[in-house]
Amino acid sequence: MEQVKGVVKHIVLAKFKEGVAEEEIEKHIKEYASLCNHIKHMKSFEWGTDVSIENLHQGLTHIFETTFETLEDRSAYVAHPAHVKFGTAFSSVLEKIIAIDYVPKPEK
């Protein structure tokens, strides 16, 4: 694996299970956002829902983005007890999830 330097973006794409109430979805999103208060490695958190007109979302409806200063910070976040606890509850209401990390590259 190549040496990773710079900011790391952690992207999660999710589809909630059929029948999960909107209030429950909102509760999970608030809990996800509140991880910033418990995990110092999280530098920012944003989320939104798919608004694309291309219809390429494959059923994924929610997008979550967390920024970390280093790959080590991302690793500490993944292993943090607050994240582990949240992840267990969050994944129980999801039908599909994709997670990917990347380091933004400057345009050449």
- Of residues 10, 41, 80, 83, which has the active-site annotation? 80
32 belongs to the catalytic site: no
pLDDT in 10s for each residue of the chain, 108 residues: 455 677 999 999 999 999 999 999 999 999 999 999 999 999 999 999 999 999 899 999 999 999 999 999 999 999 999 999 999 999 999 999 999 999 998 877
Domain map of the chain by residue range? Answer: 16-102
Q: 84, exposed or middle or buried, with CB in 10 Å at 0-12, 13-18, 19+? A: exposed
The pTM of this model reads 0.90
- Of residues 32, 62, 77, 83, which has the active-site annotation? 77
Cβ pair 47, 63 in contact under 8 A: yes
Going across the sheet that includes 8-16, the strands are 44-49, 62-68, 8-16, 94-102
Helices and strands, counts by H and E, the chain: 3, 4
**CATH number attached to the domain at 16-102:** 3.30.70.100
